[in-house]
A and B are shown apart, each in its own frame.
Chain A
Amino acid sequence: MTTALASPSSALARDPAWSARVGGFIAFGVVMWPLLAWSEFRPWLLFDLQSLAAMRGFLAGFLPPSTAPDFLALLARSTLETLAMATAGMALAFVLAAPLAFVATRALSISRIGPGPGVWRAIIVRQSARFMLTVLRAVPEVVWALVLVRALGLGPGAGVLALGIAYGGLLGKVYSEILESTDTQPARALLEAGSGRLAALLYGLVPGAAQELASYTVYRWECAVRASVVMGFVGAGGLGQLMDQSMKMLNGGEASAILLTFLALVLLADGISAALRRALA
């Protein structure tokens, strides 16, 4: 002990983590450069005079935002439709995600303690739940919407189902990761004292993770509002469908009014999230 402290020069000549860090940095550059080249990322073209003129022409049409009364009525109805689609889709996603996340969370495994009986069966069940979540979110919601519009017809119904499926996969994965990344000792101690999984989740994991879970859920709701716009372009109703019509008719004023509505919705989601975090702090 004392000798190690007396002659630090040999032991402390170099931080052992150094070469790994330099290697990692170089590897990052080697991987990123070709990716940038392949994706044709050439930001300087933005400042080319010709593209600037084209963009200015396009954006000039956006001002002023349209305030025609019958358009505003339509905008209000579409906004409600979009909110309804996003909220219903999130509810469906939650119903799919919560049980799958509950099954997939390793911190709630009873058989892992010891390890005890049924440990292999539990690993298989957990991995199948994870695989289910991957399948659900592997297909983007727009693709689900394209398929479902054909089955259910035009309108927000297809959007709700598409959002529910894709976001169910996303929420489930992130829920179980949030639960894993909080302090898992409380849940473990409860399981070791004979508690069931669900009770251990409610008394051991959720109290520590409630803030994160709530703010992620509201953030996803915000994403769902935006996604429902994209799905509108493929005929799933709401603000997106309205935007699609306005853009096709080159009506910039209407398009900018719709964009301002988006901004308001995102600000609303932000406010809800902040209020929830305060309430759960």
Chain B
Amino acid sequence: MAFTLSGCGLVHANGHRALEQVTLAAAQGERLAVIGASGAGKTTLLRVLGASLKPGEGEVELLGSAPWRLAPVPLKRLRARIGTIHQQPPIPLRLRVVTAVLAGRLGQWPLWRAIASLVYPADMAGAQAALAQLGLADRLFDRCDRLSGGQLQRVGIARVLYQQPALMLADEPVSSLDPTLADQTLAALVAASERDGATLVASLHAVDLALKWFPRIVGMRSGRVVFDLPASRVTPQMLSALYASEGGVPPVHGAGQHAHDTVATSPALQPAHL
């Protein structure tokens, strides 16, 4: 199994309960989309899967080991096999694109290589190949503060593609991309996961993209998993119930949260289709 969560619950330090009794497992190579309204617990779930938040209740197993029972060194090695695409790319803007992408393998490189790569990039070809999958191969030596928000988001994705993790987590990976680019970028993520046999878990605000690219859909509301089904079995009723707090209208990409008119343009969301 790529991961197993059993009965996980998490209360943030401010007292807000973010996860409640979450039980979820995936086999290696599976692709899951996590959908739900803002504040449903999607990001927290991904952070638990990334061994960056320790749930107060329940058991976590990631890539065959229980992270919170590991000693520091094996835990570090486990984390190097998990890659997270963050909603806000965590990249210092003074870095060049090549350095930002190469940083994806810092968990695998020995320290001397990390330092040497600051003097002369260690693997320019590798960084360029990762960027090429996202249409950014020509920006290799630009500084990140020269990029647009959408380009920076794709550099963050390229970093994780370059890391080649066994478990790939993506928190709203296409939130600042236009519909065409969002589609191409998800295609690149899916292709990478198929090529490397990596498990892919993405939280997506846009239900149309989730249904299009992911065979398995996990719906979350108020920190609970309310459904976990193959994409073909997700019904409009389930989606309106899931988004009841946002007016019962499932959001689609590039249309904001109140996309009454555009829902009909997505065939997967039309009642007739389901």
Contacts and interface: CB of A to CB of B under 8 A. Distances in A.
Given A117-B71, A185-B90, A203-B95, A195 B52 contact: no
A193 B68 contact: no
A110 interface: yes
Contacts of B79: 191-194
Interface in A231-251: none
A117 B70 contact: yes
Contacts of A210: 94
Q: How large is the interface on B (under 10, 10 to 19, 20 to 34, 35 or more residues)?
A: 35 or more
A95 interface: no
A215 interface: no
Nearest to B53: A114
B269 interface: no
A203 B94 CA distance: 10
A188 B103 CA distance: 13
Given A114-B53, A203-B114, A190 B72 contact: no
B114 A193 contact: no
A199 B106 contact: yes
B54 interface: yes
B51 interface: yes
B75 interface: yes
A192 B106 contact: no
Contacts of B88: 185
B51 A186 contact: no
B92 A207 contact: yes
A204 interface: yes
Contact of B82 (A114, A193, A202): A193
B83 A118 contact: no
Nearest to A115: B54
B86 A117 contact: no
Contacts, number: 101
A195 B106 contact: yes
A118 B72 CA distance: 8
A57 interface: no
Interface centre among B68, B72, B77 (most CB of A within 10 A): B72
A139 interface: no
Contacts of B133: none
B78 A194 contact: yes
Nearest to B88: A185
A225 interface: no
A193 B83 contact: yes
Contacts of B4: none
A147 B91 CA distance: 47
Interface centre among A115, A116, A204 (most CB of B within 10 A): A116
Given A192-B84, A207-B92, A208-B92, A113 B108 contact: no
B187 interface: no
Given A192-B51, A195-B106, A196-B106, A116 B94 contact: no
A189 B86 contact: yes
A113 B84 CA distance: 14
Given A114-B54, A192-B50, A194-B78, A204 B92 contact: yes
Contacts of B77: 194
Contacts of B51: 113-114, 192
B75 A116 contact: yes
A177 interface: no
A193 B94 contact: no
Contact of B106 (A183, A188, A194, A207): A194
Interface string A43-83: 00000000000000000000000000000000000000000
B30 to A, nearest CB: 21
B107 interface: yes
A179 to B, nearest CB: 12
19 contacts: A111-B72, A114-B52, A116-B67, A116-B75, A117-B71, A117-B75, A192-B52, A192-B84, A193-B80, A193-B84, A193-B165, A194-B76, A194-B78, A194-B82, A196-B76, A196-B114, A199-B111, A204-B103, A207-B94
The 7 closest A-B pairs by CB, nearest first: A194-B107, A194-B80, A189-B90, A195-B106, A194-B79, A207-B92, A114-B54
Given A194-B76, A207-B94, 17 more contacts: A111-B72, A113-B51, A189-B84, A190-B106, A191-B79, A192-B84, A193-B79, A193-B104, A194-B106, A195-B107, A198-B115, A199-B109, A202-B118, A203-B118, A204-B92, A204-B103, A208-B93
